[in-house]
Structure 1
Amino acid sequence: MDHHSYSHAPHEHSHHEGPSAVFRLSAATVLNIGITTAEVIGGLLSGSLALLSDALHNLSDSLSLILSAVAQKVSSRSRNRRKTFGYQRAGIVAALINSVLLIAVSVFLLQEAVVRFFNPQPVQGFIVLVTAAIGLVGNLVSALFLHHHAHESLNVRSSFLHLLADTLASGAVLIGGVVIFYTHWYWLDAGLSLAISLYIFIEVYRLLKTTVNILMQGAPQGFNIAELEAAVRKIPQVFNIHHVHVWSLDEHEQFLEAHLNLNTDLPVSQTQAVLAEVGRLVKEQFHITHSTFQVEYECCPGVGAIVEEAR
């Protein structure tokens, strides 16, 4: 008969960036709405597709920033009996929506740029220059607002990448406005719009890949389950580890579930000591913030396997 017990390694929930991040996201949103308005007016007056593309991108960013601010606030709520893992993944869901929105915008702009490239339209270079300069300064300030928190939250990072792309796009449009003003190379406007669209698409790919992996409960990037299994088996009382599941709750917390086969039928007090040792090992060497182990003395189906492979 199997003997079962559970070990819960200490884990912490980090929300230190919450209130400050919400304030910065809100400030960036106000700035972004102002930039969008200026670029729409400038784009219509000048006939610039690149400027209107940047305006549309900024509009999507404004919506994304609002979504991120709401998600950041929700994710700071404490866990309860219905949400036993808490609300940390609200930010991950927001990052996913932001990423999908960015891809949709980039595809639309790409299509419009290709059409305009083969049918260039006259553009008022001076209006483009002035409006792009306003957008550049505004986007740069907004990006600086979020830079600190971009390293701590995928949600904030997605918004930061939005604003960084906007800053680079405004810079490119500014340079394009200068060139068009002096050379009348109207095809350059469509070329810039094309480049902006491709840049957005490429930048969002890595963020989307990470976000989907978390939501699919995949193992964290670079995590080596075989190394974890080998390290745990070095503990004298452990014979085998199997049915291993590793996933991330968000970008900060990593969870582990596994079955442990012990060499001998130990009393509960000694079993707890073994579990504590295994918990410390996976936390210190593999950065697992929460671990749960089912202890067994006799074998169970799947013993000897680290992960059940799909057939």
Structure 2
Amino acid sequence: MGAGHDHSHGTRNERALKIALGLTTTFLIAEFVGGILTKSLALISDAAHMFTDAAALAIALAAIQIGKRAADKRRTFGYYRFEILAAAFNALMLFGVAIYILYEAYQRLRTPAEVQSLGMLVIAVIGLIVNVLSMRLLSAGQDQSLNVKGAYLEVWSDLLGSVGVIFAAIIIRFTGWQWVDSAIAVLIGLWVLPRTWLLLKLSINILLEGVPEDIDLPSVEEALLSIPGVRSLHDLHVWALTSGKVSLTAHLVNDPNVNAEAEILPEVRSRLAQRFSITHITVQFELTPCEQADATTHFLPSEPADTSAANKPDSAGSNHQGHSH
């Protein structure tokens, strides 16, 4: 992905986050006050959730700003990981809110309070409109950035909360069943928890430099080993700096009769970019596996590595593939 393309996505994401933050902050104040006045736990829990939405949007914005900083001598990969830290933090906040909602719902079921359903309904409908607008703003960026995805999930779960509050208000209005308010709050909490875990899991995988979810490592191995002139590979590592910025390093043992830089490297670059969208590549070519090679070495089953030409100096060495941001 080219620099201009990334910059365009980043600008759109930043603008969308700013507008969504303004909408969310304005409404959460009104919803919190309305929840106190109507004595609706579902409304108050939804307002608390919207507070985490606003915090998530603010953190996501800050992460984008920090992530724009250029790499320096201390952080040679730049500051992209701030977006992942923001996503992980948002997941933890969501988890805390879900637990709080479940606890408060349990307390309210034990000691029910009379809910003013009409005021609850009006406020929830306004909240639904705000959440729909925010979701539309963030929907495009959530596929390109885990940071934006975290904010999107926050708003999406709050939209569900607004729908739940509307549903509860209508039931209470026509039946008088006050317990429905707490029951809806429980459903909101239970809906949030698994999605929070998914976001946290994806964030932790990137922070631990795990293989990205959308990349199958055996397929990468097969793609490299099937390149003419490649005898084996080892020390293959694939990880993501942040969403959409994947890096790869590998040691390739090449046929001594093949010019690795002229014949193999262009094919490595092409296959990884076209099949896996990996453009930040570091490849070391060798005539025999280096001392660091271990059980992770993979040989072509029909053509074991030839060590007879190990001392030929013209095909061994390292090559650092250029990369784009």
Q: TM-score range by the shorter chain?
A: 0.7 to 0.9
Higher relative contact order (CA 8 A, sep 6+): 1
Distance 1:75 1:155 in 2: 11
In the alignment, structure 2 segments of 5+ residues that lack a partner are 299-325
Distance 2:251 2:231 in 1: 11
**Does 138-147 or 179-188 show the bigger shift?**
138-147
- Does residue 47 in structure 1 map to residue 3 in structure 2? no
Distance 1:236 1:18 in 2: 39
What is the root-mean-square deviation in Å for CA atoms of aligned residues?
Answer: 2.0
User: Counterpart of 2:90 in structure 1: which amino acid?
Assistant: N
Match of 2:231 in 1: 239
Report if the CA contact (8 A) 2:233-2:251 is conserved.
yes
Deviations 1:227-282 (A, max 9, x none): 3223322233221101111111122121111111123276xxx2311223222222
Distance 1:26 1:179 in 2: 36
TM-score of the aligned structures, taking structure 1 as reference length = 0.88
User: Counterpart of 2:115 in structure 1: which amino acid?
Assistant: V
**Does 229-238 or 65-74 show the bigger shift?**
229-238
Alignment of 1:200-211 (within 5 A): 200-211=192-203
SS where residue 15 of structure 1 aligns? helix
Distance 1:125 1:180 in 2: 6
Of 147, 150, 163, the match for 2:142: 150
SS where residue 142 of structure 2 aligns? helix
Distance 2:297 2:187 in 1: 44
Report if the CA contact (8 A) 2:139-2:152 is conserved.
yes
User: Counterpart of 2:296 in structure 1: which amino acid?
Assistant: I
User: Counterpart of 1:39 in structure 2: which amino acid?
Assistant: E
User: Counterpart of 1:223 in structure 2: which amino acid?
Assistant: I
Distance 1:235 1:17 in 2: 34
Number of aligned residues: 295
Q: CA deviation at 1:107?
A: 0.8
SS where residue 32 of structure 1 aligns? helix
Structure 1 residues 222 and 133: alpha-carbon distance in aligned structure 2, compared to 1, 3 A threshold: closer
- Does residue 102 in structure 1 map to residue 91 in structure 2? no
Distance 1:203 1:222 in 2: 18
Report if the CA contact (8 A) 1:243-1:305 is conserved.
no
Distance 1:40 1:144 in 2: 24
Match of 1:120 in 2: 112
Deviations 1:180-218 (A, max 9, x none): 122110100100110111111122222222111111110
Match of 1:5 in 2: none
Alignment of 1:53-202 (within 5 A): 53-202=45-194
User: Counterpart of 2:260 in structure 1: which amino acid?
Assistant: T
SS where residue 17 of structure 1 aligns? helix
Structure 1 residues 59 and 289: alpha-carbon distance in aligned structure 2, compared to 1, 3 A threshold: same
Distance 1:149 1:228 in 2: 27
In the alignment, structure 1 segments of 5+ residues that lack a partner are 1-10
Match of 1:275 in 2: 265
Match of 2:7 in 1: 15
TM-score of the aligned structures, taking structure 2 as reference length = 0.84
Distance 2:187 2:113 in 1: 18
User: Counterpart of 1:272 in structure 2: which amino acid?
Assistant: E
Of 288, 297, 318, the match for 1:298: 288
SS where residue 79 of structure 1 aligns? coil
Distance 2:158 2:21 in 1: 13
Structure 1 residues 81 and 158: alpha-carbon distance in aligned structure 2, compared to 1, 3 A threshold: same
